[in-house]
């Protein structure tokens, strides 16, 4: 059952996310580095806010005057102009980024909204104990990183472990695969094609992690070698193919433009390779992908 009211932005009464406010911050901005100053600014914004006021006051710099505390305990950080704070009235027109504010939703929030309620609850435990500042940080909130592996993997793991509660620490102890330094978005396509309910136990093996990293790197190297540059091709994000595959092309193979037919041929090549890995991995005992010293890639 989907539950639109349980969002990644406001998961409970202990914390909220404000990472995209205002939506003009430079990439890599980390508000945790300025926590004390930001706390003071949030308190000042909250105290200065007058809900009856209707004047337009543009945002200046990387801070928004309408970002403040939205609960009496000063735990939840949110937009003071949002309809939920103003009896249904949307006052976000009062800043000059109103349209951007209204449509802003990060990739992780979108993916999270596609999960069933029980799956959302399962994964939210990874963020237990975080306050709004840590929760809004991509550095300290592992949940965001986990969500980038995509709905298939989130569903498969939560279904087989639905009776457990994992904090980030206990989750990584059971599933050391996810300690990988590989970018989830760049590799979600490979992992989601490779891992199904019957072989999800592989994710409990750090040996599988090393194997996967090796396979991903060698596949990327091979494809890059055969790649013909297509400066007149379609920008990759506009191709009508699986979103995870387009991320793989862009973020893992560094392909910016490609024509549709070439992209489909590359996809077939990648799919074929993953299928070979899957068959080879099926013959390996759980938790021992490389213990014999034999790499799957040699067989594929």
Q: CB of 153 within 8 A of CB of 195?
A: yes
| Span near ligand SF4 by CB under 6 A; candidates 29-37, 104-112, 180-188, 221-229 | 104-112
Q: Angle between the 206-226 and 184-194 helix axes, to the nearest 10 degrees?
A: 110
| Span near ligand SF4 by CB under 6 A; candidates 18-26, 27-35, 273-281, 283-291 | 18-26
**Cα distances (angstroms) measured from residue 218 to each of 211, 225, 296:** 11, 11, 12
175 Cβ neighbours under 8 A, 6+ residues apart: 157, 203, 204
Under the binding rule (CB under 6 A), the answer on residue 115 touching ligand SF4 is no
Under the binding rule (CB under 6 A), the answer on residue 6 touching ligand SF4 is no
Under the binding rule (CB under 6 A), the answer on residue 126 touching ligand SF4 is no
Q: CB of 104 within 8 A of CB of 8?
A: no
**166/171 Cα distance (integer angstroms):** 5
**What sign does the dihedral 190-193-199-204 (CA atoms) show?**
positive
Q: Which of 6, 106, 116, 172 binds ligand SF4 (CB under 6 A)?
A: 106
Shortest spacing between CB 105 and ligand SF4, in angstroms: 5
CA atoms within 13 A on the CB side of 11: 27
Backbone angles phi, psi at 181, to 5 degrees: -90, 0
C-beta of 19 vs 191, nearer to ligand SF4: 19
Under the binding rule (CB under 6 A), the answer on residue 130 touching ligand SF4 is no
- What is the helix (H) or strand (E) element at residue 227, kind and residue range? none
Shortest spacing between CB 10 and ligand SF4, in angstroms: 8
Shortest spacing between CB 71 and ligand SF4, in angstroms: 15
**248/250 Cα distance (integer angstroms):** 6
Under the binding rule (CB under 6 A), the answer on residue 17 touching ligand SF4 is yes
C-beta of 70 vs 281, nearer to ligand SF4: 70
Q: Which of 11, 15, 22, 263 binds ligand SF4 (CB under 6 A)?
A: 22
Under the binding rule (CB under 6 A), the answer on residue 274 touching ligand SF4 is no
Under the binding rule (CB under 6 A), the answer on residue 92 touching ligand SF4 is yes
Under the binding rule (CB under 6 A), the answer on residue 109 touching ligand SF4 is yes
Q: For residue 37, how many other CB atoms are within 10 A of its CB? A: 11
Shortest spacing between CB 66 and ligand SF4, in angstroms: 4
Q: Which of 20, 41, 207, 264 binds ligand SF4 (CB under 6 A)?
A: 20
**300/297 Cα distance (integer angstroms):** 5
**Cα distances (angstroms) measured from residue 281 to each of 78, 182, 187, 249:** 46, 20, 18, 24
C-beta of 86 vs 297, nearer to ligand SF4: 86
C-beta of 58 vs 221, nearer to ligand SF4: 58
C-beta of 31 vs 267, nearer to ligand SF4: 31
Under the binding rule (CB under 6 A), the answer on residue 67 touching ligand SF4 is yes
**237/171 Cα distance (integer angstroms):** 32
Sites of contact with ligand SF4 (CB under 6 A): 8-9, 17-22, 64, 66-67, 79, 81, 92, 95, 97, 101, 105-106, 108-109
């Amino acid at each position: 059952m989907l539950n639109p009211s349980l969002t990644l932005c406001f998961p409970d009464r202990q914390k909220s996310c404000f990472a995209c406010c205002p939506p003009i911050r430079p990439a890599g901005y980390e508000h945790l580095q300025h926590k004390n100053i930001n706390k003071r600014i949030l308190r000042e914004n909250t105290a200065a806010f007058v809900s009856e006021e209707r004047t337009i006051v543009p945002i200046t710099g990387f801070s928004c005057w309408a970002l403040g505390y939205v609960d009496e305990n000063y735990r939840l950080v949110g937009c003071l102009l949002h309809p939920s704070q103003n009896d249904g009235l949307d006052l976000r027109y009062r800043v000059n980024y109103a349209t951007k504010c209204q449509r802003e939703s990060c990739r992780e929030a979108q993916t999270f909204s596609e999960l069933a309620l029980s799956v959302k609850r399962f994964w939210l435990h990874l963020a237990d104990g975080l306050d709004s500042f840590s929760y809004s940080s991509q550095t300290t909130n592992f949940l965001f990183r986990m969500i980038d592996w995509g709905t298939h993997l989130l569903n498969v793991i939560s279904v087989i472990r639905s009776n457990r509660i994992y904090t980030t620490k206990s989750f990584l102890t059971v599933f050391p695969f996810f300690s990988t330094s590989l970018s989830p978005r760049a590799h979600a396509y490979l992992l989601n094609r490779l891992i199904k309910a019957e072989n999800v136990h592989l994710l409990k093996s750090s040996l599988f992690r090393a194997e996967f990293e090796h396979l991903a790197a060698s596949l990327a190297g091979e494809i890059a070698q055969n790649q013909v540059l297509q400066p007149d091709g379609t920008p990759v994000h506009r191709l009508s193919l699986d979103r995870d595959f387009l991320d793989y092309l862009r973020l893992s193979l560094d392909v910016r433009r490609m024509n549709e037919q070439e992209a489909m041929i590359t996809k077939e090549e990648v799919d074929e390779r993953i299928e070979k890995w899957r068959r080879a991995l099926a013959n390996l005992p759980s938790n021992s992908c490389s213990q014999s010293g034999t790499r799957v890639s040699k067989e594929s």
